[in-house]
């Protein structure tokens, strides 16, 4: 595969997006559009990616540079040829692939295909084309006896030309030498008074050179110009991922309502119900079940885990054969061992829980370490946040039984095998094997109902009741 560089056009304002965000930063299935194009080019093997910025440059630049792209500024949006000029192609050598920053459905294999096809052919310039049922505003590929002659923009086209269904996708392959020879010859005598890059075609033909049109998938031609098109692109990317996972043996109840980002891995035999969002660097093992409406962000889930409906998991790890939810919340840096159970309305933050431990109902466990085989009762709270606005740790050993409705005023440490009586407010460490009870003693007042209503005896008043 021969070396090539790319010039990615991304200076346009994207007026029809009606959004304060520069168009190419709008996300398509979790990635800004421009990232999809740059990653595609990188994966295809480009040696350098030059990105032309204009509108919202200060916002787009850090994203592009973060991906290793080189930014160039186009002062005024005077058209696609002017944009390519802004990328200083005179300092490029070899093959140049020109791409659009707002075509997020392009993939590495498409770009590789264009380069290969250009190299196999004898043309001096290749334009990537596509047959569309509704060619709408796209530039039309005009042929004479099958040979490409020109690209005519819809706004400049005659009634006859508008009937052509082969359109320009806005992507090109050309040698830097020819590009640099033709670019200065492009004029702005057209309906939009812009410098059209499409004029490369007629200029090459006038020089007696052959121009090839490489046919591409309709997805390659798909440019995002409105929120509606953005949503379509997002759906397509999610669908593509869903199809890839199904091909690998993942069971999706309704792929059209499953939102799994590109980098997520899911093991075969796992079942994912509708409404699941699985994002970032998440990894789901085999034979897992993710029930409806679970949200999983950058979380590792081992094999045979069941995540029940409505659970929310972020930056955490879940060990094999564990169960969570419904409505469980793992906040960042939580780690569950094997066969753990986190029940409904239980929230964990920066908490490690050992194998076979459980917190089955209504609990908050923050900044804590919990050993193996420990039971956390209903309504237990680790009071990790103190009046000095600092966070403190709770350590609970192995085989501990924490009775319901207990609180741990951190920092505090509970030894292995200890028992905490229900309703205790634990402020001091508890040694291994001890029973700790920290609550008001129960006192029964006999025959209370038969007294005059609400009255207490003078003896009770003296006691301070």
The residues assigned a catalytic role are: 361
> Which of 139, 267, 371, 415: binder of ligand UD1 (CB under 6 A)?
139
Q: Is 264 strand, coil or helix? A: coil
Stretch that binds ligand UD1, among 165-173, 269-277, 348-356, 417-425 (CB under 6 A): 165-173
Please tell me whether residue 169 binds ligand UD1 under the rule CB under 6 A.
Answer: yes
Stretch that binds ligand UD1, among 9-17, 274-282, 285-293, 413-421 (CB under 6 A): 9-17
Extract the tokens encoding 25.
Answer: 């930063």
DSSP at 136: T
Q: Which does 377 bind (CB under 5 to 8 A by kind): ligand UD1, Mg ion, none?
A: none
Tally Cβ neighbours within 10 Å of residue 408: 27
Encoded one letter per residue, x for contact with ligand UD1 by CB under 6 A and - for no contact, window 346-375 reads ------------------------------
The angle, 0 to 180 degrees and rounded to 10, between the axes of the packed helices 33-44 and 57-66 is 30
> Burial of 189 by CB count in 10 Å (0-12 exposed, 13-18 middle, 19+ buried)?
exposed
Q: Which does 344 bind (CB under 5 to 8 A by kind): ligand UD1, Mg ion, none?
A: none
Residue nearer to Mg ion on the CB measure, 137 or 207: 137
Stretch that binds ligand UD1, among 36-44, 79-87, 288-296, 433-441 (CB under 6 A): 79-87
> Which of 78, 327, 345, 401: binder of ligand UD1 (CB under 6 A)?
78
Shortest reach from residue 243's CB to ligand UD1, in Å: 26
SS3 sequence, 144-178? Answer: ECCEEEEEECHHHCCHHHHCCCEEEEEEEEEEHHH
> Which of 100, 202, 340, 358: binder of ligand UD1 (CB under 6 A)?
100
Extract the tokens encoding 461.
Answer: 């008043």
Shortest reach from residue 12's CB to Mg ion, in Å: 7
Extract the tokens encoding 200.
Answer: 């490369």
Q: Is the dihedral of CA 217, 218, 224, 228 positive or negative?
A: negative
Q: Which does 169 bind (CB under 5 to 8 A by kind): Mg ion, ligand UD1, none?
A: ligand UD1
Residue nearer to Mg ion on the CB measure, 179 or 197: 197
- Check: CB of residue 383 under 8 Å from CB of residue 410: yes
- What residues contact residue 344 under an 8 Å CB cut-off, 6+ apart? 308, 325, 326, 327, 328, 361, 362
- Check: CB of residue 34 under 8 Å from CB of residue 51: yes
* Total residues at interface with ligand UD1 (CB under 6 A): 28
Query: Which runs of E-coded beta strand occur in 367-450?
Result: 368-370, 375-376, 381-383, 394-396, 401-402, 407-409, 412-414, 419-420, 425-426, 435-436
Residues 196-215 interacting with ligand UD1 (rule: CB under 6 A) = 196-198
> Which of 46, 80, 112, 270: binder of ligand UD1 (CB under 6 A)?
80
Encoded one letter per residue, x for contact with ligand UD1 by CB under 6 A and - for no contact, window 56-75 reads ------------------x-
Q: Which residues, listed in sequence order, are joined to residue 330 by a DSSP beta bridge?
A: 313, 348
Residue whose pair of structure tokens reads 């509708």 in the numeric block: 274
Residues 206-235 interacting with Mg ion (rule: CB under 5 A) = 223
Please tell me whether residue 52 binds ligand UD1 under the rule CB under 6 A.
Answer: yes
Residues 216-235 interacting with ligand UD1 (rule: CB under 6 A) = 223
Shortest reach from residue 76's CB to ligand UD1, in Å: 7
Contact residues: ligand UD1, CB under 6 A: 9-12, 52, 54, 74, 77-80, 82-83, 100-102, 138-139, 151, 153, 167-170, 196-198, 223
Contact residues: Mg ion, CB under 5 A: 223
């Amino acid at each position: 595969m021969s070396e090539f560089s790319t010039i990615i056009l991304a200076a346009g304002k994207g007026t029809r997006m009606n959004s304060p965000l520069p168009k190419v930063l709008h996300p398509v299935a979790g990635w800004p559009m421009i990232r999809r194009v740059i990653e595609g080019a990188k994966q295809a093997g480009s040696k350098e990616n030059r990105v032309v910025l204009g509108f919202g440059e200060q916002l787009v630049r850090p994203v592009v540079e973060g991906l290793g792209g080189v930014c160039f500024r186009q002062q005024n949006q005077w058209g696609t040829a002017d944009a390519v000029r802004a990328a200083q192609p005179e300092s490029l050598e070899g093959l140049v692939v020109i791409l659009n920053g707002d075509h997020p459905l392009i993939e590495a294999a498409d770009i590789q295909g264009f380069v290969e096809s250009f190299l196999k052919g004898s043309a001096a310039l290749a334009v990537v084309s596509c047959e569309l049922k509704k060619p709408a505003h796209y530039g039309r590929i005009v042929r004479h006896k099958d040979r490409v002659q020109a690209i005519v923009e819809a706004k400049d086209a005659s009634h006859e030309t508008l009937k052509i269904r082969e359109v320009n996708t806005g992507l090109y392959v050309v040698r830097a030498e020819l590009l640099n020879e033709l670019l200065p010859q492009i004029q702005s005598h057209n309906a939009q008074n812009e410098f059209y890059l499409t004029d490369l075609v007629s200029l090459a033909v006038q020089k007696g050179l052959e121009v090839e049109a490489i046919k591409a998938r309709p997805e390659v031609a798909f440019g995002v110009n409105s929120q509606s098109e953005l949503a379509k692109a997002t759906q397509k990317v999610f669908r593509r991922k869903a199809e890839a996972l199904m091909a690998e043996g993942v069971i999706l109840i309704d792929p059209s309502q499953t939102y799994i980002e590109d980098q997520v891995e899911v093991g075969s035999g796992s079942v994912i119900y509708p409404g699941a969002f699985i994002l970032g660097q998440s990894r789901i093992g085999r034979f897992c079940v993710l029930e409806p409406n679970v949200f999983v962000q950058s979380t590792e889930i081992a094999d045979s885990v069941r995540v029940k409906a409505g659970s929310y998991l972020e930056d955490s790890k879940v060990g094999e054969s564990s169960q969570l939810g419904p409505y469980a919340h793992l906040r960042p840096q939580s780690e569950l061992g094997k066969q753990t159970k986190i029940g409904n309305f239980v929230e964990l933050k920066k908490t490690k829980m050992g194998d076979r431990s459980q917190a089955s109902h209504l609990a908050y466990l923050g900044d804590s370490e919990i050993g193996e085989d420990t039971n956390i009762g209903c309504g237990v709270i680790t009071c990790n946040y103190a009046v000095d606005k600092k966070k403190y740790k709770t350590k609970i050993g192995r085989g501990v039984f924490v009775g319901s409705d207990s609180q741990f005023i951190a920092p505090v440490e509970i030894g292995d095998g200890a028992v905490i009586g229900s309703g205790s407010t634990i402020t001091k460490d508890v040694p291994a094997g001890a029973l700790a009870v920290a609550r008001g003693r129960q006192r029964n007042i006999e025959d209370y109902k038969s007294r005059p209503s609400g009255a207490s005896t003078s003896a009770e008043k003296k006691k301070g009741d």
